[in-house]
Chain A
Amino acid sequence: DVKVTQSSRYLVKRTGEKVFLECVQDMDHENMFWYRQDPGLGLRLIYFSYDVKMKEKGDIPEGYSVSREKKERFSLILESASTNQTSMYLCASSSGQDFTDTQYFGPGTRLTVL
C-alpha cells in the first residue's frame, strides 16, 4: 500500500513565523503535490513537483515556496505565515510522467496562524 505521511497533524504558529510542512511518500513516486482545503473553496493546488529539484506553480502559489531535495520528500514553506494561511494542508503523490495516475493523499496538517 502507498503511504504518504505528513510531519504534523496539527500546528499552531504566529504571524510572521517561517513554517515548514513536510511530506514523505514511500512508493518511489515521481510526482508530489501540495493542496490547501478551505470550507466553501474546496481543494486548491499550491505547488507540484514531477522530479527532484523540479517544481511548478499550481493555482495559488502566492505566499508559499516548496523544496524537493529527495524523491520521497516534498516540503511546503511559508516564509512569513499570515492568518489567511490558516487552513488544512494536504500532500499527495502519484506515479507516471503525465499526471494521470491516481493521487494518494496524506492525512493532512491543520495549520492555525494566530
Chain B
Amino acid sequence: KQEVTQIPAALSVPEGENLVLNCSFTDSAIYNLQWFRQDPGKGLTSLLLIQSSQREQTSGRLNASLDKSSGRSTLYIAASQPGDSATYLCATLAWDAGNMLTFGGGTRLMVKP
C-alpha cells in the first residue's frame, strides 16, 4: 500500500529565503505526483502536477522535481514571501491505489516578515 511522507511537519523561515519541502513515497509505480497548497480552514489548491515521465515542473517561483526511482519529490520555493505561509501537501496517484490520490501529512510553512 502506498505511503506518502512529508518531512518536516512544520517549517519557519524568514522572508526572502529559498526553501525546499520534501515528499517521499514507498511505491514508485505512480502515474503522477501533485503538490497542493492549503490555507487554514480552506480547501486545497493545486500548484503543480508532475507526470511520471517528467522530472520537474515550474510555475513562477515554484519548482517541483520528481525522482521516481528513489521515491522522492521536492518543492522548491524561491524568495519566500509571507503570503506563501500555508500547508503544502503532496499526493501520488498510483495504479495499485486504484488511481486514487494518496496524500502526505503536509508541511506547515510559516514565512516571517
Q: Given the complex, which residues of B lie within 8 Å of A103, measured CB to CB?
A: 34, 46, 101
* Given A40-B105, A88-B41, A106-B43, 14 further pairs, Cβ under 8 A: A4-B43, A42-B105, A42-B106, A43-B89, A43-B91, A58-B100, A98-B99, A99-B99, A99-B100, A100-B93, A100-B99, A105-B43, A107-B43, A110-B41
Interface of B is mostly: strand
Give chain A's interface residues, CB within 8 Å of chain B. Answer: 4, 40, 42-43, 45, 48, 58, 88, 90, 92, 98-100, 102-108, 110
By size class, the interface of chain B is 20 to 34
Note all chain A residues with C-beta closer than 8 A to B46: 102-105
What are the residues of chain A within 8 A of B31 when measuring CB–CB? 100
State the Cβ distance, A49 to closest chain B Cβ, in Å.
13
* Complex CA–CA separation, A45 to B36 (angstroms): 16
Residue numbers in A under 8 Å from B41 (CB-CB)? 88, 108, 110
